[in-house]
Amino acid sequence: MTGLRVEVDLDKVADNTAELVSRARERGMSITAVTKVMLGAPELAQAMSVAGAVSLGDSRVENIERMRAAGIDHSMLLIRSPMPSQVDRVVRAGVASLNTERDVLTALASAARAQGRVHDVMLMVELGDLREGLMPAQLNQVIAHVLGLPTLRLSGIGANLACRNGVEPTVENMGELSSIVDSVEAAFNIEIDVVSGGNSANLDWAFGPSPTGRINNLRLGESILLGREPLQRRPIPGLHTDAVTLVAEVIESQRKPTMPWGRSGQNSFGETAEVEDRGRVWQTILAIGRQDTDPTDLVPPEGIEVRAASSDHLVVETGDRMCPGQEVRFEPGYSALLRSMTSPFVAKHLYRSDTRS
Ligand SMILES: *Cc1c(COP(=O)(O)O)cnc(C)c1O
């Protein structure tokens, strides 16, 4: 096995999923487990489905096709508005999709007609974070458009907060989503099955004391994988925070001064170094860089400090010399994990730790 790898303990992911599913159920909500950070790894999707996720969510049709090809037949949701160039594939994959654009909806309806299918859509509403979503005043027009297209079925209304501006889900904005759903139902005399309140940032609100109103679904990725809520990155009690590990290998370890010498300009990334002289240290280099992860988003083990990173080198300080070939295990944050999963140089090792399964 190569020294540079992401390790995913599928039993811990399954435990985290089951725990969140059960706590959400007590509050009247189902969980859509989001696989996008793991590029739709089928073993992961399988573990999340068995653990009770009502459906799987992914932002890329490529990942969805990968799961379908591996035989994952669970209900799925494309959690990004489809690219017009991909509507045929989205419909063919037999998934529902999030939507905000009339023209995309029209294109999905035509693709569904051509394939003899009905495509489920969830319309997204803007609640203030200013990423995807229809302004509430525009919603009814688009609903009328969907209801007029016989090959589309309006399966839900949703919202997404926190991803762009960090706007937190609160009693107020979740209450607004509930009222929007009530008024849509009254205006069109229809029933909205799924009201999807948001992502892992919704957990404080979801497990808090206030009524959940009409919201009956959450789409969770980060909290299942990393066991943390994303607004303050606090561990969620009862969840594993070590289901995912990033492992890198030592390639050099030398006693060196902390002060560079010679005339300095910008480094390879346009940054100018601010260095303080701390004398000589054990400077160790790991064979992982910005191409493979987000070096600012790694929690190193005790006694190791991340100092700098270039494309392929991570410079850390260690109390002692480390031997080339030794491995260092980091706890990645969301951004580090996302980049590691996407680097072809990082091996992905998904395994089961638990003899129960
Ligand atoms: C990524 C994403 C999610 C999951 O977010 P987490 O913070 O990983 O729980 C949910 N909904 C949408 C629309 C997303 O893009």
Q: Over the stretch 59-79, which tens digit does the pLDDT of each residue have? A: 999 999 999 999 999 999 999
- Kindly give the number of the ligand 1 atom that is closest to the alpha carbon of 200: 9
- Reply yes or no on whether the pLDDT at 181 is more than 60: yes
- Three-class DSSP category at 10: helix
Task: Tell me how far apart the alpha carbons of residues 303 and 301 are, in angstroms, rounded to a whole number.
Answer: 6
Q: Is 36 a catalytic residue?
A: yes
Mutate to test the pocket of ligand 1, among 20, 29, 34, 232 (most ligand atoms within 8 A of CB): 34
- Reply yes or no on whether the pLDDT at 217 is more than 90: yes
List all residues whose CB is within 6 A of at least one atom of ligand 1. 34, 36, 59, 79, 160, 199-200, 219-223, 230
**Helical H segments across the chain, by residue range:** 10-26, 42-50, 61-69, 87-92, 102-115, 136-147, 171-188, 203-206, 222-226, 334-342
pTM for this predicted structure: 0.95
User: Which protein residue's CA is at the shortest distance from atom 3 of ligand 1?
Assistant: 199
Handedness of CA 219, 223, 228, 230 (dihedral sign): negative
Q: Model confidence at 270, in pLDDT bands (50, 70, 90)?
A: confident
Q: How far is CA 221 from CA 15, 117, 281, 329, 337, in A?
A: 14, 29, 39, 22, 12
User: Which protein residue's CA is at the shortest distance from atom 2 of ligand 1?
Assistant: 199
DSSP 134: B
pLDDT in tens, 99-134: 999 999 999 999 999 999 999 999 999 999 999 999
Ligand 1: distance of its center to the CA of 219 in Å?
A: 6
Ligand 1: distance of its center to the CA of 285 in Å?
A: 34
Q: How many helices (H) and strands (E) does the chain have?
A: 10, 16
Q: Model confidence at 274, in pLDDT bands (50, 70, 90)?
A: confident
> All domains of the chain, ordered by start, with CATH?
10-227 (3.20.20.10), 244-355 (no CATH)
